[in-house]
Amino acid sequence: VFLIVLDSYGIGELPDAADFGDAGSNTLRSITKSKEYYNAITDAALCNCSYCRSYRLQVKSAYSRIAAYLDSFGVDIEKPFETSPLEPDENGMLAYCGCQYIVFGTCESEYYHRIDNVEIRVAISYPSTGIDQEHFVLELFPIKLKFVQ
């Protein structure tokens, strides 16, 4: 017999949630909304420029630990909200100085996480998402991939 405890994997708030700044918290609902959002994004809705195509073709395999981490938020790493690529260098490597993803729910503005050499934080600047529901935008950088046309 195995017992798995998912502490802090909220499926709703406790009566004293407001005392701790957690009013309205529901981690499972937020992850589900994020997954539904990404599942609804079709290939036709994604940017088709060569920089974005190159990113989508490689990012999941090149950054598998980041992909798994984003998946824990319900985010599909192959469907970025926004990318900020630089020009390919002399070796054909393309640096993305920012890759942004929409996540439903709330997050502290000071949130910071690092996996290998990639920083993950709440974005402070991004285009309008057009989403009325509570959400935030995660930004990760730097991402470096071979430029594939």
Cβ atoms of 83 and 57 within 8 Å: the answer is: no
- The predicted pLDDT at position 30 comes to 82
Cα-only R_g, the chain: 17
User: What's this model's pTM, rounded to 2 decimal places?
Assistant: 0.84
Cβ atoms of 120 and 112 within 8 Å: the answer is: yes
- The predicted pLDDT at position 13 comes to 54
* pLDDT tens-place values along the chain, 149 residues long: 765 545 554 545 555 555 555 555 567 788 899 999 999 999 999 999 999 999 999 999 999 999 999 999 999 999 999 999 999 999 999 999 999 999 999 889 999 999 999 999 999 999 999 999 999 999 999 999 999 98
Task: Write down the H helix ranges in 3-134.
Answer: 27-40, 50-62, 64-71
What are the distances in angstroms from CA 87 to CA 52, 61, 93, 120? Answer: 12, 22, 9, 22
Cis preceding-peptide flag for 127 (omega within 30 of 0): no
